[in-house]
Every structure is written in C-alpha cells, then in structure tokens.
Amino acid sequence: MEVKTFTLGELQTNCSLLIDQNTNQCIIIDPADEANFISEQILQLKVHPIAMIATHGHFDHLLAAGELQMAFDLPFYLHQKDFFLLKDLQKNASFWLKRKIIEQPPKSISFFPNTPHFSLPVEKIKATNFEFTLIPTPGHTPGSVCLYLPKLKILFTGDTLFAQGVGRTDFSYSSAKDLWQSLQKLKKLPLKTTILPGHGPACLLSEALRI
C-alpha cells in the first residue's frame, strides 16, 4: 500500500491517493481542488480510482469531487451530518475565495453509517483490499471523521488534528466540547500512528497530541 499526497488549491489542502500496489486500485481521500491535476496524476501513475472519501464537508476538501465523479464514475462518501455543507459548496467557496465558483458538487453521494456510539473500533469500510476504521470526530464540523488504517498505522485526520494544532471551532455549527471529546478517542490509537492531516505536514500522533 502506498500513499501519494498533493497540496492543492488556494487553501493548501492535502489530497491523498491511497494506492493498492497489487491491484493498482486507489481511493481519493479529500478531493480538494484542481480536478485536472488530480486526473493527470491518476493517469500518470496508471492507477484505477474506485472511490472518493471526504473527511468532512468543507469546500476546500471536496471542490474537485464533482468533476472527478464525472470523469471516473466514482462513488463519493461523506458523513450525512455534513451534507448541508456539501449543498452549499458553491456559495461557501465563493464567499471564502472571493470569486465565482463553477465547480459542481458530486451528484451521487453515499453516506457513512450514522453511529451514536464513539467507542473504538467503530465501523469497518471495506472496498476490495482497502479496510478503514471510521472514527466519527465531530467538533470542527458535525460530520467530521478520521480514517484509520490499522495495518499501516496511518490516520487521515482531515481538519480535526494537525501537526501544530486542531481544527477551528468558531463556526456556528462547530463545537469545542465535541472536538475535545473527539481528541480523547484518538488518544486510544497507537501513539506511533502517522497522522496525515488535511493541511500541513504529517507527524506522529504522539507529537500532534503532545503526549
């Protein structure tokens, strides 16, 4: 298994291709921006994308999803609690980027299971040789999730946790209390897990949590 990460768009969002080197299949995690660039990388690497997963619903993490879905006919996964953000993708992106947004949101959406319990492990998402543990981590947004690959000890944290801090909680729909509780769940993972955040560099979970 291999991870290729690209920093894309005006907000410098990390988009990752999780590649199964045995099958050349890949999953696109946080299809941030610049759909043409992502498509070029897929073609150059000669991989076959099978799905897109968004760690949360903010536009900078999924602006390319609609175009990539049309190009590769991919399912798009998102937590249902962040669907309201996806619906307002163009309005929100236009507000923050100060320009007209022509990118369309994905048309076909698959929601993660809405689980009321937060103990680990939570859900298992299986797609061919890919297996994640889905960890709901609300706080930055109501539907934020982290994606843990136990075999690789890699954790995609979106905007929940960065190398130098945590996601902002000053939006009307955010919750500092929920984010704190989410971080307590992440502390249950092996501290030598490598986190791949939505912005900034990778680091060990112990470093990000200052443990």
> What pLDDT tens digit does each residue of the chain (211 aa) get?
889 999 998 899 999 999 988 888 899 999 998 999 999 999 999 999 988 999 999 999 999 999 999 999 988 999 999 999 999 988 888 888 888 888 888 988 888 765 433 223 334 455 556 777 889 999 999 999 999 988 889 999 999 999 989 999 999 999 999 999 999 999 999 999 999 999 999 999 999 998 6
Q: What pLDDT was estimated at residue 111?
A: 84
Host H or E run for residue 17: strand 13-20
* Amino acid letter, residue 45: L
Q: What pLDDT was estimated at residue 113?
A: 65
Q: What pLDDT was estimated at residue 131?
A: 76
Fold of the domain spanning 2-208: Metallo-beta-lactamase; Chain A (3.60.15)
Q: What pLDDT was estimated at residue 12?
A: 94
According to DSSP, the β-strands at 2-8 and 13-20 are antiparallel
88 CB-near residues (< 8 Å, 6+ apart): none
Q: What pLDDT was estimated at residue 183?
A: 96
DSSP three-state, residue 50: strand
CA angle 177, 182, 183 (to 5 degrees): 100
22 CB-near residues (< 8 Å, 6+ apart): 129
Q: What pLDDT was estimated at residue 211?
A: 61
Record the pTM: 0.89
DSSP three-state, residue 156: strand
Q: What pLDDT was estimated at residue 126?
A: 53
Q: What pLDDT was estimated at residue 173?
A: 96
According to DSSP, the β-strands at 48-53 and 25-29 are parallel
Distance CA 189, CA 87 (A): 33
The C-alpha torsion from 132 through 135 and 140 to 142, rounded to 10°, is 110
What DSSP designation does 211 have? -
What ranges do the domains of the chain cover?
2-208
